[in-house]
Amino acid sequence: MLSKFLIPRRFFSRNIKDIKRRIEIKESKEQELEEEAEERKRRFKKKFFDSLRIYVRGGGGGQGIPKYGGVGGKGGDVHVISSKDITLKTVYDTNPSKRYIAGTGTDSRKRYLLGEDGADKEILVPVGVCIKTDEGRTIADLNEEGQRAIVARGGDGGSPYNNFLGQKGEVRSVTLDLKLIADIGLVGFPNAGKSTFLAAISRAQPKIAEYPFTTIQPQVGTMMYRDYRQITVADLPGLIEGAHVNFGMGHKFLKHVERTKLLLFLVDINGFQLSPKYQSRSAFETLLLLNKELELFNPEMLDKPAVLAFNKIDTDHNSNADHVIELVKNLPDSLSEVPKEMHPNRLVKFDEIFKMSAKNRENTDIIKQRLRELLDLYAGLKETDKSLLADFQNLPSGDKPYSSNKEIRKIKLV
């Protein structure tokens, strides 16, 4: 009678097989995702140029004629000129040899005692290029349209000063390092909603998707205000824990926010997990890890005015955001809530903290307005005010109300 209710052995073995098959499928899907991410990285490497090393040589000077006092022409110089209508990729495509050599000065001749100067060579590069020597010395920062810099001088023509021997032109390799120019830089982990925010506040149409590293190259969008004021915002590929040791896309894009005037930190209120293989991080941990990665890249980044927005508030059904905001307000005391290895040495001071839903455009307009006000406020601060502000910011957290921007106003009025 009982045997009627016993489950046959066959049933279990079939079930185990089914579970095994499902695990295999899951693993292969994970592998596929990883391969896809690798492929995206490879494609990106081919496509996006933000640095180009070129060889430059000034023209040689022409020979003089001692007998008649003839002077050789001067060699041409190599100039780099910034232009809005060009990208580094075009610079490369138009001259893949990456060699730029200016013209040689002509020799002095019996009938033309003064040799002609060699032709200068002009290289058009995008605005925002910083020219560096191989030793790391910066030759010039071309931050505005039409600025120019000489990167290799031509040699002098032969004359009484050099025994009538034309001189060689300067030869070197220089790197054209492009840094985007934007007023505000978005920093956040992958999937935080940076691109969604950019799309909400500007006409930019960045790619948005639920997988990490959707954005693989920086993009600048412009926020337009009713009075036609424009403020630019740079969206960057997401940073992850360990970016300083080249995890994810690494630190290489952070140079693009080095020149911004203000940083907007975007943090997913649900925290972050790269994949099931990696540990999941809470929103508060994510924020501290971001702070740490910025610090490891360049501690000066922590001194920039900063705004923090907790995104995806529409999914925050347990009102976790208020608790996390309290933790941020109670820094550094609340550091005790997270393991020591996540502690940055120095904390970013936020001027404002917001909750938002970039997807539903909740609070995005208010943030847009405040960003403008803060930019203007900081632009108006004199150096003395800034040092007062720094003193103020160094007070222990208990001694000051959180919203430091109100205090900035106070300081300004003093």
Ligand X SMILES: Nc1nc2c(ncn2[C@@H]2O[C@H](COP(=O)(O)OP(=O)(O)OP(=O)(O)O)[C@@H](O)[C@H]2O)c(=O)[nH]1
Q: Where does this chain bind Mg ion (CB under 5 A)? A: 195, 214-215
Task: Could you list the beta-strand ranges (E) of 315-402.
Answer: 350-355
| 226 three-state secondary structure | coil
Q: How far apart are CA 14 and CA 25, in angstroms?
A: 17
- Of 63, 104, 202, 215, the residue at the interface with ligand X (CB under 6 A) is 215
Which residue's structure tokens are 């025994």? 163
Compare residues 62 and 237 and give the one whose CB is closer to ligand X.
Answer: 237
What are the φ and ψ backbone dihedral angles of 20, each rounded to 5 degrees?
A: -60, -45
| Part in contact with ligand X (CB under 6 A); list of ranges 79-87, 205-213, 329-337, 345-353 | 205-213
- Of 76, 237, 305, 344, the residue at the interface with ligand X (CB under 6 A) is 237
The CB-of-281 to ligand X minimum distance in angstroms stands at: 15
The CB-of-216 to ligand X minimum distance in angstroms stands at: 8
- Of 135, 210, 227, 399, the residue at the interface with ligand X (CB under 6 A) is 210
**35 to 28, 29, 241: CA distances (angstroms):** 10, 10, 20
**44-71: burial string, b at 16+ Cβ within 10 Å, e else:** eeeeebbbbebebbbbbbbbbbeeeebb
Q: What single-letter amino acid sits at 80?
A: V
Put residue 181 in one of left, alpha, beta given phi > 0 → left and psi -120 to 50 → alpha.
beta
The CB-of-196 to ligand X minimum distance in angstroms stands at: 3
Residue 311: contacted member of ligand X, Mg ion, none (CB under 5 to 8 Å, by partner type): ligand X
Over the window 266 to 305, marking each residue x when it contacts ligand X by CB under 6 A and - when it does not, the resulting string is ----------------------------------------
- Of 23, 25, 33, 209, the residue at the interface with ligand X (CB under 6 A) is 209
Q: How far apart are CA 200 and CA 357, in angstroms?
A: 10
Considering only residues 152 to 191 of the shown chain, the ones binding ligand X according to CB under 6 A are 188, 190-191
**Contact between 314 and ligand X (CB under 6 A)?**
yes
Question: Contact positions toward ligand X, by CB under 6 A?
Answer: 188, 190-196, 208-210, 212-215, 237-238, 311-312, 314-315, 357-359
